[in-house]
């Protein structure tokens, strides 16, 4: 069939060219319209349920709100994790769904189950869904400042103008506010004045509520016109509130609110603070983008709308962009685009150097962009964005895409040298294409199939690498199709005129001169060559540590043996989930002790921001403590997040680099790791445990596992105090494990509470209920929301509570008066139920007031409370560290140092969890893929012996792959395994090509009757190996040259691409060398079994190339 396709293409040249032109125009259109993003969306499908219950403690929120919601969500279809967070006054429930779940389907299912909770939640608690955004939806952040306006005015501008302006931009799911002060009308009553006037706090509340509002009446018709009635009564100023009548005194004199309370404008209670550059507080906005949108396009529209909106704000108000993902997107796409251009140029240069024929090289040069454009067309149709990974799939395929074309061109050169002038030109091109085309098509098909394991990856690693697998598959598929359609047509048009002989090219002469004498030795000492190859492979994988070092007793001999083990590369490699994806910005997330006051937290935030901003590499610093006003931010008031926007690296100044001994070892720009370490050394504040990461990575990790560090340990159980004890003990154990950079166990019970323990006998004597006392406390201390003012487009709350003097210390709290009716039934708020005088009972007669420790927040997973331990690692690979840490914890449990009561369990989480999942999946899928590759090769060769020879390329390539990883000091990671998987397909291709030429020479000798003795077989092997060394060298050189630019790349995504390219480069080099050396020996052993050596024939050396022409 493949031969028929080649024939059809050559007979319908202009049809093929017309289809190619259409493909190119379609690819250009797709290239211009494909969405741009930095990385694929790695977050799970999530639905956030957010509930507010103002003034309630975390434990109460957990018991009455979070627990009912999370237990209900456990049964939602396709929900794999339900995580709950309970904080002061609000609750979050995160429902994480299985891979591939449609986000809007998930939202509808969650809403359906939420409806079943009606009536089971406290009055006034109304759960609502968070925005329809991914876990990495925070794409743009800004801060507004003005020397002429205070923080309250700036916050009003943000809340009531900018927020709505930006929310209307297409693709924006939500605009959240952070920092500043939300204006509030505060009525601080004096209980002594209330007592003097005989008023209750309930009567005051009712009067205020009735004094704010507007109503309409029916219309009137006067003078042939209709007049609509409206009664105006909104509160507009503080004076309006002061004039509210709350009762009557002796003689009917009205008692005004201003006589019993201080009425003023003040800030609402804050659960979040924003700070800019260590210079002081600011007001910020967070733009959250919707599912599946073109992030870059949305951010550009947001910036345009923001510029326009700022013109409508008062003079002096300016904004500063504090986080902009378009910078990362542009850097990432620019990095990969430049590498693609470099790779294409290098590939073209190599073709030209080996062929010394520009028009022949032009065939490969044309095929490459056409294949790339074809892959972009499919990307656009499938909705895959242009990002680091999708472009990376094309980048690692550039060399392999033109392999088949290069070999076909080289074969055409051979045929034209041999048959030029004796056959028609197009017939020679057809013969050359048909001779190698089908085999090359199968080899490209093998490369395409080799990426099947990537499509089986799950969760974060699957979402990261599937775009790469898709684009590489599309590129190779397009290249395979073009190699049997467009390539023969272009060869017919371009490969004309005088074709330089292979021997006239100095590169080819050098390769033949180098390889020719080796063939003789390879054939003569074939068993030694085969044994040597086996030793080399075994050397790489020999388990020296397990077989030699481990049995040795402790001492110097064991130490020496351990050092010697570094000569065996595979066992020396560590393991990790993924190399860091450098985003160009940093995120500082220190852990503080719970219970820190907002005032102290603000001081710490400004201090750390000022230190970080002092570094010359930093553009600006935006610090946040607590949460933004969005369901996507479940941060408590003790959580600091500082976004650090760095300058472009070319603007970084050269600084003195200090070595471990304190001496200056260099004067240059710092690397990102060196800068992070320098910041870490500078920011050393007692009570803070530093953690440095990156914005997108952190949000992905915290969504997937809730853990912000590489390693997390989760302790689950019913009692919070016991969870804290277990977590603290594990913290002490893990701290001793080598490689621990920092470890912090959450102080679950670290909050400070003023607790009122109601005496039931005492309240019964006064005819009160528990609810009566709680109602007084809730209003007097927490503040009762009474009503909302309407001031144009703005809305502000009005609250009622006791004056600060009566709620500042325990003694004052004990004096809070609880109203009691002495002559009739009543409620504590003073609403009369019958005749009787109003009495007031001090709270200390009804309850005990004391300070206790209690949780500042409750985290749960699967509706079971958790305590989390955050572990940061340095100087050791993740896999070995977790193994050592798990062993330390297990040993402590065996020795009794750590005891887990019944009902408590420990789970290891973080990146380690991802690594184990990916490892388990690849362990199953890679062998299956090798079987599929073997089946495809068998379909082409129809020989088990040939299949076995070709598959030897896999271990040959692993030799170079693992040595390269060892030399570059890379750990085994999912990115490395992706490179090795890609390498398996390339190995099979190079093996097929090598065996193809040996087989063609063998069949040619056999057809001419020249294959009778072992000496004849050596001649055939010489012709198949040495005389065809050029295409094999070109194939390897093009692949390696196509990958080399990735090794010296720098910028967003470069670290991941380097891990993919490194084993591919090493593997292609080692497999090419070992195939050139070992395949002739194995081929000779196999084919010589059918030959009988002539008795008189002596072994002779293979003649040099010049003697055979």
| 101 shares a domain with 192 | no
Higher-pLDDT residue of 704 and 138 is 138
pLDDT grade for 502, boundaries at 50, 70 and 90: low
| Contact between 1084 and 526 (Cβ < 8 Å) | yes
Residue 110 within a domain: yes
- The CATH number for 494's domain is 1.20.1640.10
pLDDT tens for 437-478 read: 677 777 777 777 777 778 888 777 788 888 888 888 888 888
* Cα dihedral 54, 55, 57, 63 in deg (nearest 10): -40
Average pLDDT estimate for 372-381: 86
Residue 786 within a domain? yes
Average pLDDT rounded to a whole number, residues 986-1012:
78
* pLDDT at position 736 over 90: no
CB 257 within 8 A of CB 240: no
* 3-class secondary-structure state, position 828: coil
Domain range for 120: 38-133
**Over residues 497-508, mean pLDDT:** 73
Q: For residue range 618-644, what is the model confidence (pLDDT) as tens digits?
A: 999 999 988 888 888 888 887 888 999
CA distance 792 to 409: 76
Residue 689 pLDDT > 70, yes or no?
yes
Structure-token pair, residue 903: 């009902």
Cα 913 to Cα 705: distance, rounded to the nearest angstrom: 9
Closest of 190, 205, 187 to residue 786, by C-alpha: 205
Q: Is the pTM value of this prediction over 0.85?
A: no
Three-state DSSP at 261 gives: strand
Q: What is the mean pLDDT of residues 45-63?
A: 88
**Does some domain include residue 824?**
yes
- What is the secondary structure of 773-795 as a DSSP string? HHHHHIIIII-EEEEEEEETTEE
Beta bridge partners, 753, equal 852
Mean pLDDT of 906-910: 85
CB 873 within 8 A of CB 739: yes
Spatial contact of 567 and 963, defined as CB atoms under 8 Å apart: no
Q: Is the pLDDT assigned to residue 1008 strictly greater than 70?
A: yes
Of 58-67, 538-547, 1068-1077, the poorest mean pLDDT is in 538-547
pLDDT at 1: 66
> Residue 615: pLDDT band by 50, 70, 90 thresholds?
very high
Task: Identify the CA nearest to 575 among candidates 893, 877, 829.
Answer: 877
Handedness of CA 8, 10, 14, 17 (dihedral sign): positive
3 and 121 co-located in one domain: no
Pair (26, 45) in one structural domain: no
Mean pLDDT calculated for residue range 1030-1039 = 80
In angstroms, the Cα distances linking 444 to 58, 121, 451, 1075, 1076 are 60, 61, 12, 18, 20
Report whether 871 contacts 908 (CB < 8 A). Answer: no
Question: Could you give the CA distance from residue 328 to residue 296 in angstroms, rounded to a whole number?
Answer: 10
Q: Which residue has the tokens 């590939």?
A: 347
Domain end (from 805, 828, 854) = 854
Q: Is the pLDDT of residue 149 over 70?
A: yes
CA–CA separation, 1076 and 682 (whole Å):
56
- CA–CA distance, 1072 with 704 (Å, rounded to integer): 42
Q: Is residue 414 part of a domain?
A: yes
Residue 363, token pair as written in the block = 């065939």
Q: Is residue 1105 scored above 50 in pLDDT? A: no
Bigger pLDDT: 45 or 596? 45
Higher-scoring residue by pLDDT: 92, 990: 92
Residue 434 scores a pLDDT above 60: yes
Residues 6+ apart with CB under 8 A from 68: 117, 120, 121
Which burial class, exposed, middle or buried, applies to 474 when counting CB atoms under 10 A from its CB (0-12, 13-18, 19+)?
buried
State the Cα–Cα distance between residues 275 and 581, nearest whole angstrom: 27
User: Judging by DSSP bridges, how do beta strands 655-658 and 711-716 pair with one another?
Assistant: unpaired
Q: Which residues contact 175 (CB under 8 A, 6 or more apart)?
A: 162, 163, 164, 166, 167, 285, 286, 287, 288
Q: Which of 499, 523, 548 represents a domain boundary (last residue)?
A: 499
With a CB cutoff of 8 Å and minimum separation 6, the contacts of 793 are: 160, 161
Domain co-membership, 8 together with 99: no
831 and 808, same domain (yes or no): yes
Q: 830 pLDDT band (50/70/90 cuts)?
A: low
User: What single string gives the DSSP state of each residue in 199-225?
Assistant: --HHHHHHHHHTTS--EEEEEEEETTE
> Which pLDDT belongs to residue 177?
92
The owner of tokens 């051979």 is 414
Residue 543: count other Cβ atoms within 10 Å of its Cβ.
Answer: 13
**Reduced to 3 states, what is the DSSP secondary structure of residue 737?**
coil
Q: 578: helix, coil or strand?
A: coil
Domains of the chain: total: 3
Q: Are 171 and 296 in contact (CB under 8 A)?
A: no
Quote the tokens at residue 471. 């684009």
Domain edge (last residue) among 834, 854, 874: 854
Residues in the chain: 1109
For residues 812-836, give the mean pLDDT.
60
Say whether both 42 and 25 belong to one domain: no
Assigned domain for 530 exists: no
pLDDT at 1109: 41
For 867, the 3-state DSSP assignment is: strand
pLDDT (mean) for 291-298: 85
pLDDT of 793 > 90? The answer is no
What is residue 1103's DSSP assignment? P
Using DSSP, state whether 17 is helix, strand or coil: helix
- Residues 678 and 684: their CA atoms lie apart, in Å, by 11
pLDDT at 117 over 70: yes
Q: Please name the residue that has the structure tokens 């009564």.
A: 233
- DSSP string covering 432-472: HHHHHHHHHHHHHHHHHHTTHHHHH--HHHHHHHHHHHHHH
Would you state the structure tokens that stand for residue 316, as one six-digit string? 């002096």
Rounded percentage of the chain residues whose pLDDT exceeds 70: 94
Give pLDDT tens digits for 241-276: 898 888 887 778 888 988 888 888 888 888 788 999
Q: Are 983 and 932 in contact (CB under 8 A)?
A: no
**9 and 55 share one domain:** no
Domain co-membership, 10 together with 66: no
Q: What is the DSSP string of 597-660?
A: -HHHHHHHHHHHHHHHHTSTTEEEEEEEEE--SSTT----TTBEEEEEEEPPGGGPPPEEEE-T
List the one residue out of 714, 1056, 1016 whose CA is nearest residue 889: 714
Answer whether 155's CB lies under 8 Å from 181's CB.
yes
Q: Cα 1079 vs. chain centroid, distance in angstroms?
A: 44
Distance of CA 1084 to the CA centre of its chain: 52
CATH of the domain at 103: 3.30.70.1430
For residue 249, the domain's CATH number is 3.30.2090.10
Q: Which ranges in 751-877 belong to alpha helices (H)?
A: 760-765, 770-777, 810-814
22 and 116 belong to one structural domain: no
Answer whether 925's CB lies under 8 Å from 720's CB. no
- 63-94 pLDDT per residue, tens: 999 999 999 999 899 998 899 999 888 899 99
Whether the predicted pLDDT of 53 surpasses 90: no
Q: What per-residue confidence (pLDDT) applies to 235?
A: 86
pLDDT at 837: 53
| Highest averaged pLDDT of the listed ranges 293-307, 445-459, 777-791, 943-957 | 293-307
pLDDT > 90: percent of the chain: 10
Mean pLDDT (the chain, rounded): 82
Does residue 108 sit in the same domain as residue 243? no
Q: What is the mean pLDDT of residues 308-334?
A: 86
Is residue 261 a part of any domain in this protein?
yes
Looking at per-residue confidence, does 608 or 427 come out higher?
608
Residue 1098: band (very low, low, confident or very high) from pLDDT cuts 50, 70, 90: very low
- Give the pLDDT score at 822: 65
Task: Specify if 687 maps to a domain.
Answer: no
At 1042-1093, the pLDDT tens digits run 788 888 777 667 788 888 888 888 888 888 888 888 888 888 888 877 666 5
206 with 91, same domain: the answer is: no
Determine, yes or no, domain membership for 351: no
Task: For residue 295, give the 3-state DSSP assignment.
Answer: helix
Angle, in degrees to the nearest 10, between helices 506-524 and 1029-1047: 110
Secondary structure class of 1004 (helix, strand, coil): helix
Instruction: Flag whether pLDDT at 697 surpasses 60.
Output: yes
Q: How many contiguous H segments (helices) and E segments (strands) does the chain have?
A: 42, 32
Give the distance, in angstroms, between the CA of residue 1083 and the centroid of all CA atoms in the same chain: 48
How do 794-802 and 272-276 pair as beta strands? unpaired
Q: What is the pLDDT of residues 748-763, one digit of tens each?
A: 777 778 888 888 988 8
* Neighbouring residues of 656: CB distance < 8 A, sequence distance ≥ 6: 664, 666, 667
Q: 509 versus 111: which is more confidently predicted? A: 111
Rounded-to-integer distance, Cα 819 and Cα 828, Å: 5
Same domain for 111 and 242?
Answer: no
Please state which of the ranges 564-573, 720-729, 1063-1072 shows the lowest mean pLDDT: 564-573
Mean pLDDT to the nearest integer, 362-383: 85
| Average pLDDT of the segment spanning 554-558 | 74
- Nearest Cα to Cα of residue 952 among 909, 999, 984: 984
């Amino acid at each position: 069939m493949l031969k028929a396709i080649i024939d059809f293409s050559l007979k319908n040249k202009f049809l093929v060219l017309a289809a190619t032109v259409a493909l190119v125009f379609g690819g250009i259109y797709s290239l211009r319209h494909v969405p741009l993003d930095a990385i694929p969306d790695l977050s799970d499908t999530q639905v956030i349920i957010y509930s507010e219950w103002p003034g309630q403690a975390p434990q109460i929120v957990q018991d009455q709100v979070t627990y009912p919601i999370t237990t209900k969500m456990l049964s939602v279809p396709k929900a794999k994790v339900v995580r709950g967070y309970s904080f002061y006054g609000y609750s979050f429930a995160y429902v994480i769904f299985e891979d591939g779940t449609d986000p809007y389907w998930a939202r509808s299912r969650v809403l359906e189950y939420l409806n079943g909770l009606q009536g089971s939640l406290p009055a006034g608690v109304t759960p609502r869904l968070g925005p329809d955004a991914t876990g990495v939806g925070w794409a743009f952040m800004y801060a507004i400042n003005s020397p002429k306006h205070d923080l309250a005015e700036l916050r009003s501008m943000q809340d009531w103008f900018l927020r709505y302006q930006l929310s209307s931009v297409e693709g924006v799911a939500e605009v959240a506010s952070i920092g500043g002060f939300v204006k509030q009308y505060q009525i601080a009553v004096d209980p002594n004045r209330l007592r003097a006037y005989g008023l209750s706090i309930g009567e005051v509340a009712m009067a205020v509520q009735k004094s704010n509002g507007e109503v309409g009446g029916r219309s009137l018709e006067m003078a042939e016109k209709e007049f609509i009635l409206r009664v105006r009564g909104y509160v507009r100023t503080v004076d309006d509130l002061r004039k509210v009548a709350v009762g009557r005194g002796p003689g009917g004199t009205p008692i005004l609110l201003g006589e019993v309370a201080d009425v003023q404008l003040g800030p609402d209670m804050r659960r979040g603070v924003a700070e800019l550059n260590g210079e002081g507080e600011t007001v910020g906005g967070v733009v959250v983008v919707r599912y599946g949108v073109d992030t870059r396009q949305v951010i550009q529209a947001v910036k345009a709308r923001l510029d326009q909106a700022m013109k409508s704000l008062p003079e002096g108000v300016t904004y500063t962009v504090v986080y902009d993902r378009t910078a990362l997107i542009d850097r990432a796409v620019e990095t990969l685009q430049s590498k693609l251009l470099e790779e294409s140029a290098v590939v073209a240069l190599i073709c030209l150097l080996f062929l010394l024929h520009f028009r022949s090289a032009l065939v490969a040069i044309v095929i490459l962009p056409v294949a790339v454009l074809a892959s972009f067309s499919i990307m656009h149709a499938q909705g895959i964005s242009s990002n680091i990974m999708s472009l990376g799939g094309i980048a690692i395929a550039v060399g392999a895409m033109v392999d088949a074309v290069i070999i076909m061109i080289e074969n055409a050169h051979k045929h034209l040298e041999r048959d030029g002038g004796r056959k028609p030109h197009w017939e020679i091109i057809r013969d050359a294409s048909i001779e190698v085309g089908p085999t090359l098509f199968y080899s490209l098909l093998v490369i395409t199939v080799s990426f099947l394991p990537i499509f089986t990856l799950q969760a974060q690693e699957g979402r990261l690498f599937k775009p790469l697998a898709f684009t590489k598959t599309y590129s190779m598929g397009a290249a395979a199709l073009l190699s049997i359609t467009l390539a023969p047509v272009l060869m017919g048009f371009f490969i004309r005129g005088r074709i330089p002989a292979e021997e006239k090219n100095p590169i080819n002469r050098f390769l033949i001169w180098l390889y020719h004498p080796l063939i003789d030795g390879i054939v003569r000492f074939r068993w030694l060559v085969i044994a040597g190859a086996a030793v080399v492979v075994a050397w790489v994988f020999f388990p020296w540590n397990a077989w030699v070092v481990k049995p040795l007793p402790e001492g110097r001999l064991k130490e020496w043996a351990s050092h010697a083990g570094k000569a065996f590369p595979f066992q020396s490699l560590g393991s990790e989930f993924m190399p860091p994806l450098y985003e160009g910005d940093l995120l500082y997330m220190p852990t503080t002790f719970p219970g820190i006051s907002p005032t102290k937290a603000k001081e710490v935030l400004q201090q750390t921001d000022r230190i970080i901003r002092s570094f010359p590499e930093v553009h600006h610093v935006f610090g946040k403590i607590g949460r933004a006003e969005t369901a996507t931010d479940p941060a408590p008031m003790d959580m600091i997040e500082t976004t650090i926007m760095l300058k472009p690296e070319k603007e970084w100044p050269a600084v003195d680099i200090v070595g471990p001994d304190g001496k200056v070892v260099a004067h240059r720009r710092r690397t990102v790791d060196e800068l992070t370490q320098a910041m870490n050394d500078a920011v050393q504040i007692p009570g803070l445990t530093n953690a440095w990461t990156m914005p997108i990575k952190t949000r992905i990790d915290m969504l997937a596992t809730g853990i912000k560090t590489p390693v997390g340990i989760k302790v689950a159980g019913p009692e919070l105090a016991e969870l804290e004890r277990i977590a603290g003990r594990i913290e002490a154990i893990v701290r001793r494990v080598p490689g621990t950079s920092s470890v912090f166990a959450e102080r679950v019970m670290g909050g400070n509470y003023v607790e009122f323990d109601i005496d039931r006998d005492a309240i019964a004597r006064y005819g009160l209920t528990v609810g009566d006392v709680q109602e007084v406390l809730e209003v007097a201390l927490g503040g009762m929301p009474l009503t909302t003012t309407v001031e144009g487009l703005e809305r502000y709350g009005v609250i009622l509570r006791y004056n600060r003097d009566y709620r500042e210390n325990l003694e004052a709290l004990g004096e809070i008066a609880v109203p009691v009716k002495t002559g009739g039934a009543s409620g504590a708020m003073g609403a009369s139920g019958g005749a009787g005088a109003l009495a007031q009972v001090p709270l200390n007669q009804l309850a005990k007031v004391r300070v206790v420790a209690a949780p500042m927040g409750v985290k749960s997973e699967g509706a079971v409370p958790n305590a989390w331990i955050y572990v940061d690692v340095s100087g050791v690979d993740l896999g070995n560290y977790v193994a050592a840490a798990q062993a330390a914890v297990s040993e402590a449990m065996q020795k009794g140092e750590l005891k887990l009561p019944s009902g408590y369990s420990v789970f290891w989480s973080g990146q380690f969890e991802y690594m184990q999942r990916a490892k388990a999946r690849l362990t199953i899928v890679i062998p299956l893929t090798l079987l599929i590759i073997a089946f495809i090769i068998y379909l082409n060769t129809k020989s088990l012996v040939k299949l076995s020879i070709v598959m030897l390329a896999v271990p040959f390539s692993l030799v170079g792959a693992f040595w390269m990883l060892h030399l570059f000091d890379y750990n085994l990671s999912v990115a490395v395994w992706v490179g090795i998987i890609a390498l398996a397909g390339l190995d099979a291709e190079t093996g097929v090509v090598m065996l193809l030429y040996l087989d063609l020479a063998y069949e040619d000798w056999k057809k001419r009757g020249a294959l009778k003795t072992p000496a004849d077989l050596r001649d055939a092997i010489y012709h198949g190996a040495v005389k065809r060394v050029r295409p094999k060298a070109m194939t390897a050189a093009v692949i390696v040259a196509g990958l080399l630019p990735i090794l010296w790349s720098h910028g967003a995504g470069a670290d991941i691409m380097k891990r993919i390219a490194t084993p591919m480069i090493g593997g292609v080099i080692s497999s090419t060398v070992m195939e050139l050396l070992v395949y002739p020996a194995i081929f000779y052993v196999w084919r010589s079994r059918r030959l009988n050596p002539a008795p008189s024939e002596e072994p002779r050396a293979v003649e040099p190339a010049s003697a055979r022409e």
